[in-house]
Chains A and B, each alone.
Chain A
Amino acid sequence: MSFNLPYIIREGFMGLRRARVAAFVTVTTIAVTLTLLNLFLILTVNVRRVVRGFQNQIFFEVFIDPTAPADSVEALRRDILAVPGIEKAEYISREAALDRFKAEFGADPIPLLGENPLPASFQVRLTPAYRSPDRAESILAKIGKLRSVDEVSYHGRFFRLIEEYGRTVLWVDFGLMLIVVLATLLLVNNTMRLTLLAQRKSIQIMRLVGATTGFIRMPYLFQGVFQGALGGGLSALISFSLVQLIAWKFNLRLQGIPHFFWGPVAVGGMLGLFGSLIGLSRHMKD
């Protein structure tokens, strides 16, 4: 099979002109569906960034039993660090805890209570691999059983909620992606059917004069890639403008925008290519 690029491009554009209504509908729909996907992916990147920010803040407060002997602090530190998934354990003495309380609330509890009510503790941070609610809770159980530990404090419910929101966003992304892929494949396939119907005479003549099936298919593959890439390019322009507008209007610093500019062109082109391959295998036999 020879590869004649000028011929492929010329015939490809002629085919699009002949089935222009179907091609217009295809490009517009690809642009709209990919725009939706783009916007949601940008939202996802930013939601994930927030979730990751919260996950980095996951820590336990391990309160030391007030009746424990003073020399048990170092032993407890060693025991805590021996638990897998612990990055560091910072000791907060009763005095340091009081200072933090005063800085945070602007009040001194000693005149009211007559003594420092705050216990000594360890502020325990997890390694990145353990910063998820499930893994954090397994560590929590292990630390709770250590000697000289009075209580372990952990904001598990809040972190679990954040994690669930992040997961929901990912599922919606996945669903949208599936819809976009299916819609694009169906549309390109349908346009291909209409184009092949409009050009059945020229296909018959090409076969008569000895064109190979591969050669006949090339312009149609070009059409599919072109429609997909054009739809993707339009979606990139629309979503880029919308995101810039939203960021400016609400004074947001959004991430991930540059990746979503050329991405839709490539994704659209690939979907167009697969859609045409499916359409050709269904509607143009050897």
Chain B
Amino acid sequence: MITMENVWYRFGNHAIFSGADFRMKPGEFVYVVGPSGSGKSTLLRLLHMDIFPGRGSVTVSNACSRTIRPRDIPFLRRKVGMVFQDYKLLEDRNVFDNVAFALWATGVPSGKIKKLTLQALTEVRISHKRYSMIPELSGGEQQRVSIARALVNEPYVLLADEPTGNLDSESAEDVMRLLKRINSKGTAVLMTTHREEFCRSFPGRRVRIQQERLVE
């Protein structure tokens, strides 16, 4: 489902990837670990086709970085959910509107939006706070809203960039349990983290960024 072949990527004079290869099958749960600045977020941006490799190719589902047209990228992103450490929620809208926003933005008919939004909020167990404004929520709750927004379009894969980075241990474990449950229902999850203890508590394939390559 995800293939990176001989990927080279530089940021200015600094090489991030030099001939990196990586494969991920449907339904897998993969941790990408490595120190800060090693290229974990860059990897997710490459998979989200936000940036493109200088050499090599990234393929997500049927979309290849070498051949995809700019106008087709939004359609790929609808099937690749993204979750961030800083949640990236709209603070002037309530929980329901933040999730529904992803459906409005992708042109889902208004008649379906309420049902799909409530389903996603129920899935992450935050539907009881659907009318709360974002600043009223704890960090863990905000991350669950962010996950609901990523899930609402039923993606093949969920890309999570340090989703527990801003959370206390209890909230972080709560988010991890949620990601594992989503994965058990068939959605592949690729998560970057620098907290390797999760890899033991919540098992999954572990990939390390080392010397500008991805190693098992």
Contact = CB atoms under 8 A, between A and B. Distances in A.
Given A208-B77, A210-B105, A211-B105, A201 B90 contact: yes
A65 B160 CA distance: 105
Contacts of B102: 209-210
Contacts, number: 54
A251 interface: no
A2 B149 contact: no
Interface stretch (B68-76, B123-131, B178-186, B188-196): B68-76
Interface string B64-95: 00000011001111110010000011100000
B74 A211 contact: yes
B107 A4 contact: yes
B74 A207 contact: yes
A209 B153 contact: yes
Contacts of B70: 286
A179 B91 CA distance: 40
B101 interface: yes
Contacts of B48: 208
Interface string A189-205: 00000000000011011
A202 B90 CA distance: 7
Contact of B104 (A4, A201, A212, A286): A4
B111 to A, nearest CB: 11
Given A204-B88, A286-B70, A209 B107 contact: no
The SS class assigned to the A binding surface is helix
Contact of B106 (A6, A211, A213): A211
Contact of B78 (A202, A209, A213): A209
B13 interface: no
B101 A209 contact: yes
- Counting chain A CB atoms within 10 Å of each CB, the highest count among B78, B90, B105 belongs to B105
Contacts of A208: 48, 77, 82, 88
Interface string A123-160: 00000000000000000000000000000000000000
Contacts of B101: 202, 205-206, 209
The B contact surface, by secondary structure, is helix
A212 B71 contact: yes
Contact of B149 (A209, A212, A213, A286): A209
A1 interface: yes
A201 to B, nearest CB: 7
A6 B110 contact: yes
Contact of B105 (A6, A209, A286): A209
A7 interface: yes
A210 B77 contact: yes
Contacts of B104: 4, 7
Contacts of B78: 209-210
A210 B110 contact: no
A206 B107 contact: no
Which of A1, A212, A215 has the most chain B CB atoms closer than 10 A to its own CB?
Answer: A212
The 10 closest A-B pairs by CB, nearest first: A2-B107, A210-B78, A211-B105, A210-B77, A209-B102, A210-B74, A212-B74, A206-B105, A7-B104, A210-B106
Given A205-B89, A208-B77, A210-B102, 15 more contacts: A7-B104, A201-B88, A201-B90, A204-B88, A205-B90, A207-B74, A208-B88, A210-B77, A210-B78, A210-B79, A210-B153, A211-B74, A215-B105, A215-B107, A216-B105
24 contacts: A2-B107, A4-B107, A201-B88, A201-B90, A202-B90, A205-B88, A205-B101, A206-B101, A206-B105, A208-B48, A208-B77, A208-B82, A208-B88, A209-B77, A209-B101, A209-B149, A210-B76, A210-B105, A211-B105, A212-B74, A215-B105, A215-B107, A216-B105, A286-B71
Interface of A: 1-2, 4, 6-7, 201-202, 204-213, 215-216, 286
Interface of B: 48, 70-71, 74-79, 82, 88-90, 101-102, 104-107, 110, 149, 153
